[in-house]
Amino acid sequence: AALDAIEASQPTINAFTHVDREVALAAAAVVDAKRAAGGKLGPLAGVPVAVKDVLCTHDMPTTCSSKMLKDFRPPYDAGVVERLRNSDAVIIGKTNMDEFAMGASTENSAFGVTRNPWNTDRIPGGSSGGAAACVAAGTVPLSLGTDTGGSIRQPAAMCGVTGLKPTYGRVSRYGLIAFASSLDQVGPIAWSVPDVALLLQTIAGFDRRDSTSLNLNISRYSDGLESADLTGMRIGLLRESMDRDGVDESVRQATLTAADVFRSLGAEIVEIDLPHNDYWVPTYYVIAPSEASSNLSRYDGAHYGHRASDISGDDELGPLVTTYCRSRAEGFGDEVKRRIMVGTYALSEGYADQYYSQALKVRRLIKGDYDTAFGQVDLLLGPVTPTPAFPLGEKVDDPIQMYLCDLFTVGANLAGVPAISLPAGLDASGLPVAVQLQAPVLEESRLLMAGA
């Protein structure tokens, strides 16, 4: 049924970069055979799960929606993909994204844009636009996205589904193709909080192959979700961020309504501020491109990835440098090139002190704001995105406007804390609006309990 639904929606939504009926049915048949043999089945037995195309899968291409990796078939599975298979899930296909996860609208894909199922003239958000859109379209119940600066929460918000960015280190990055290694996390997208909890349970945990993986006990994420009592919980309402210019009235109203709902369930709402919020976007857009410029240096047309053809030996740079330059020029899209240039500049001798090192110091201040806030409250409540889904093409030629979509999401990545995007109704034109909850490190259970 999921394969048929994907086939029907793909021409309009384009949520997938790859679906192979045979491979998916073969995976389902393995689960069936196990069931028939009386074997013990995992918690996701037979459930179709879509996986963002930045996560390595040994039996499907892994492209990062880039021409650079168009023909790349990894020889191994990512840690999270292994865990999905061990829980007897059926990996149904790979989802479209902004190239190398750089973007907020899924318009930076080498394989065409993904459209928002609520209104196909609108973007689905990004970079995990395909992963959110395929759940919103009802084609699969669960998907995996990745979040470096909001890429799970922002598309989940714009597509009216639920998405969680775990604590940095909670979920393995092994086999996740790196964008900005100190910020990247894999996380679940689903319709409801209980489904998000179930998928988080499957993917969370220690992996010795990721040096930043946390070797700590995992909570039972599905526990306590039915409790509707928030007595004793203090929730900090991020009032200043909500009242900023450029924040849509529907987003403001949804946040206030959510505060009322939490209050009616027993929580105490206090107004709070993360004072360095103005510096989040500039800090992120120094650190993320710096790490990206380093991580993406491996795509040189020699080791692997797209390789320019017809390199003549008589070019004055010599065949190796020419291969390197032409392969990168042809293989990467404009936004990826922009990030590589910004990052290389920010890291270069004479500038690193002014930009990269400075950004690291501001990152500490931002983390400090979270520590102070979580000394006073248990959770933070605020917007996910300044506006609901905007029209396709509106911001694609204006990088600064696109970067400002990340105004409320990058803080959680810079501080390493978990955060969830929750559907919070529709605006006047019928587009989804969402709210965000953020919690101290490793308090995913608290996010899920309040979110449910």
Identified binder of ligand GLN from the candidate list 63, 65, 87, 148, rule CB under 6 A: 148
Structure tokens given for 172: 């393995």
Positions 111 through 130 that interact with ligand GLN (CB under 6 A): 127
Find the shortest distance in angstroms from Cβ 330 to ligand GLN.
Answer: 22
Residue placing its CB nearer to ligand GLN in the complex, 48 or 388: 388
Restricting to residues 373-392, which ones interact with ligand GLN according to CB under 6 A? none
User: Per-residue x/- marks for ligand GLN, 156-185, CB under 6 A?
Assistant: -----------------------x------
Residue 114 or 327: which CB sits closer to ligand GLN? 114
Q: How many of the chain's residues bind ligand GLN (CB under 6 A)? A: 13
Instruction: State the catalytic residue, choosing from 9, 109, 127, 421.
Output: 127
What part of residues 288-307 is at the interface with ligand GLN (CB under 6 A)?
A: 288
> In 87-114, which positions are buried (b, 16+ CB within 10 angstroms) versus exposed (e)?
bbbbbbbbbbbbbbbbbbbbbbbbbebb
> Is 147 among the residues that bind ligand GLN (CB under 6 A)?
yes
Active site residue 52: yes
In the annotation, is 128 catalytic? no
What's the min distance (Å) between Cβ of 5 and ligand GLN?
26
Give the span between the Cα atoms of 104 and 154, in whole angstroms.
8
| DSSP-assigned beta bridge partners for residue 51 | 94, 144
Nearer to ligand GLN, 52 or 276 (CB): 52
Give the interface segment with ligand GLN, choosing from 2-10, 44-52, 142-150, 189-197 (CB under 6 A).
Answer: 142-150
In angstroms, the CA 153 to CA 52 distance is 14
CB of 100 to ligand GLN, least distance (A): 8
Q: Three-state DSSP class for 229?
A: coil
Q: Which of residues 269-288 bind ligand GLN (CB under 6 A)?
A: 288
Give the interface segment with ligand GLN, choosing from 141-149, 272-280, 347-355, 375-383 (CB under 6 A). Answer: 141-149
Q: Which of 117, 150, 169, 432 binds ligand GLN (CB under 6 A)?
A: 150
Binding flags for ligand GLN, 210-239, as an x/- string (CB under 6 A): ------------------------------
Catalytic residue among 52, 94, 165, 395: 52
Q: How far is CA 403 from CA 98, 369, 409, 417, 423, in A?
A: 13, 22, 11, 21, 22
Strands (E), 67-165: 90-95, 142-147, 162-165
**Per residue in 61-85, is it b (16+ CB within 10 Å) or e — as a string?**
bbbbbbbbbbebebeebbbbbbbbb
The CB-of-178 to ligand GLN minimum distance in angstroms stands at: 11
* Residue 103 touching ligand GLN (CB under 6 A): yes
Which of 13, 44, 84, 101 touches ligand GLN (CB under 6 A)? 101
At residue 104, what is the residue type? A
Residue nearest to ligand GLN according to CB distances in the complex: 151
Binding part of the chain for ligand GLN, among 37-45, 84-92, 100-108, 436-444 by CB under 6 A, reads: 100-108
Residues with Cβ within 8 Å of residue 318, at least 6 apart in sequence: none
Closest CB 168 distance from ligand GLN, rounded Å: 13
Instruction: Looking at residues 398 to 427 of the shown chain, list those that interact with ligand GLN (rule: CB under 6 A).
Output: 406
Judge contact between 217 and 209, C-beta under 8 A: no
As measured in angstroms, the least distance from the Cβ of 101 to ligand GLN is 4
- C-beta of 105 vs 445, nearer to ligand GLN: 105
CB closer to ligand GLN, 210 vs 291: 291
Which is it for the CA torsion 424, 433, 222, 262, positive or negative?
A: negative
**Judging by DSSP bridges, how do beta strands 142-147 and 48-52 pair with one another?**
parallel
Residue 337 is among the residues annotated as catalytic for this protein = no
How far apart are CB 12 and ligand GLN at their closest, in Å?
A: 24
For residue 214, CA distances in Å to 78, 296, 312 come to: 17, 25, 49
> Shortest distance, CB of residue 360 to ligand GLN, whole angstroms?
17
To 10 degrees, the CA torsion angle through 275, 276, 278, 280?
Answer: -140
Which residues partner with 347 through β-bridges? none
Whichever of 49 and 104 has its CB closer to ligand GLN, that residue is 104
Q: Which of 161, 173, 162 is nearest to 204 (CA)?
A: 173
Candidate residues 104, 214, 441, 452; the one interacting with ligand GLN per rule CB under 6 A: 104
- Angstrom distance (rounded) from CA 281 to CA 35: 50
Q: What angle do CA 193, 163, 377 make, to 5 degrees?
A: 75
Cβ neighbours of residue 3 under 8 Å, at least 6 residues apart? 19, 21, 24, 25, 92
65, 128, 143, 151: the active-site residue? 151
Q: Which residues have a catalytic role annotated?
A: 52, 127, 151
Residues that bind ligand GLN (CB under 6 A): 101-104, 127, 147-151, 179, 288, 406
